[in-house]
Amino acid sequence: MSYPAIDFLFLNEEDMIKAGVKDMPACIEAMEEVIKCLNSGDYVMGGENHNSHGSQVSFPKTSPFPHMPLDVGDDRRFMAMPAYIGGPFDLMGMKWYGSNMANREKGLPRSILTVMLNDKDTGAPLALMSANLLSAYRTGAIPGVGAKYLVNKGAKVCGICGPGVMGKTSLAAIMAACPDIDTIKVKGRGKASLEKFIAYVKDEYPMLKAVEAADSIEELVRDTDVISFSNSGGTDPAFYPFVKKQWIKPGAVLIGVSAFDMDTEELASCSLVVDNIKLYQAWAEEFPYPSFGINNIIGSKFTDMAHDGVISMDEITDLGDIIFCKKPGRVSEDQIFVYSVGGMPVEDVAWGKVCYENAKKMGLGTKLHLWDSPDMC
């Protein structure tokens, strides 16, 4: 870039698709590099602890101001998620979004996302991009990295709880990481969404032997090698999918992309893995104990268990420690893993960087002009 003039690139959703945002194997590869950066400390996120998920604006239940948005529906918020990620990415950026479950009544996704990439030295914008697909694919790819390192070789059966966007991208990642999968089981709440998901899976993966609807969590979990909990969550664990250890196949991997729960003692008997231990430590600082429920990610239950003395913090394994061989991963075929996926803006910036570089090579996007020179300097 030649300063002081600044131009940057706008990439709409069509541009992002052409730039490879839906290339799951490449996304898994990028997310593995992210996990390595996280483990080595080559990143910075928000907050004084440098590990904050982001800054959230939540609305009041009531307000004397007639135009003030109100918290009268599920997931009504705005959130800014800034991050620097080093390694092969070496870039600053931020994901910004507003979320409202009522969007679906207007034909819109629950959340509408954008990512801004910035030069790490000057702060100059490099790209503004549509990020719904970017976020969905990086969310799925982190389970894919876990599946690569934790799932038994030759795994055949995959379970998906929640037939939505996260279910689709989690499945794509597991299929990429576990090439012997031949059977998919899915648990959903609505018949229409379940039938739509099953039709999608059959069309997308015609090589599968079976795609089955599970009537219960027990049916989903029994005899299943790897299960992704990609369902919508809330703040009350009483409504989370609940798993009993007696249902879990020896050697299975349970991936918590969203909310699910287990009995504390049974969970403590499993091998517990997280995508970035410092994120969960930050959540434990930010959310009053008990964190789990306020935050619906199962890894917050891990830190609550450590707080209660049920386990030690050393019994929570960072996935990066497994990748770098600092700690053992799977040591037996019967070992059961529970892998927690928190979701972090470093992932958005990293996958955004890959798509941005692809877009530049392909001549995609619309160039936007900030200024020839700043009016005040």
Q: What is the pLDDT of residue 77?
A: 87
CATH 3.30.1780.10 matches 6-135+346-371: yes
What is the rounded average pLDDT of the residues 8-35? 98
pTM of the complete model beyond 0.85: yes
| Paired tokens of 284 | 């434990």
Per-residue pLDDT of 300-342, as tens digits, reads 999 999 999 999 999 999 999 999 999 999 999 999 999 999 9
The values of phi and psi at residue 249, to 5°, are -65, 135
Residues 6+ apart with CB under 8 A from 65: none
Higher pLDDT among residues 248 and 48, named by residue: 248
67 has pLDDT over 90: yes
Per-residue pLDDT of 153-171, as tens digits, reads 999 999 999 999 999 999 9
Task: Please state the three-class secondary structure of 337-370 as a single string.
Answer: EEEECCCCHHHHHHHHHHHHHHHHHHCCCEEEEE
Least confident range of 51-65, 145-159, 207-221: 51-65
Per-residue pLDDT of 97-134, as tens digits, reads 999 888 888 999 989 999 999 999 999 999 999 999 99
- Domain boundaries, given as residue ranges, for the chain: 6-135+346-371, 143-344
Q: Which amino acid is present at 241?
A: P
143-344: CATH topology is Rossmann fold (3.40.50)
Helix (H), strand (E) at residue 334: none
Report whether 78 contacts 97 (CB < 8 A). yes
183: nearest Cα among 218, 144, 152, 226: 226
